[in-house]
């Protein structure tokens, strides 16, 4: 996860109870561990194991990817803006690497 995740929000200053759309993509190889290289050796498994999105202390979305997810996974989800706070999105992979992106959501 050398590159930072790419994030797009439909509105960082929504009205109370407005629906906010989030699009997020991370660069990750997502190697299943089931393939072999040109020399006939197994390619080590290297997949994302978790994604979580929080607004403040509230969990918005939790996802545990599996081996069938393609490279550079793209997520899209929505939430209802009930409060201002820090939107935090965290990806973790099998080797323990963590990537995090935050955005401030301020109700207008």
pLDDT of residue 2 exceeding 90, the answer is no
Domains of the chain: residue spans and CATH: 6-105 (2.60.40.10)
Going through the chain in order, the beta strands assigned E by DSSP cover 6-9, 19-25, 48-55, 58-63, 74-80, 85-93, 98-105
**Which pLDDT score, from 0 to 100, does residue 1 have?**
67
DSSP 37-53: -TTSPBPPPB-EEEEEE
pLDDT in tens, 61-104: 999 998 889 999 999 999 999 999 999 999 999 999 999 999 99
What is the pTM for the complete model shown?
0.90
């Amino acid at each position: 996860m050398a590159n930072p995740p790419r994030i797009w929000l439909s509105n960082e200053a929504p009205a109370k109870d407005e629906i906010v759309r989030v699009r997020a993509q991370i660069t990750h190889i997502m190697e299943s561990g089931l393939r072999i290289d040109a020399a006939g050796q197994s390619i080590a498994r290297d997949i994302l194991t978790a994604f979580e999105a929080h607004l403040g202390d509230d969990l918005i979305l939790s996802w545990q990817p599996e081996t069938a997810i393609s490279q550079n996974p793209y997520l899209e989800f929505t939430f209802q803006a009930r409060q201002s706070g820090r939107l935090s999105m965290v990806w973790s992979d099998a080797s323990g690497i963590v990537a995090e992106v935050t955005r401030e959501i301020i109700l207008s």
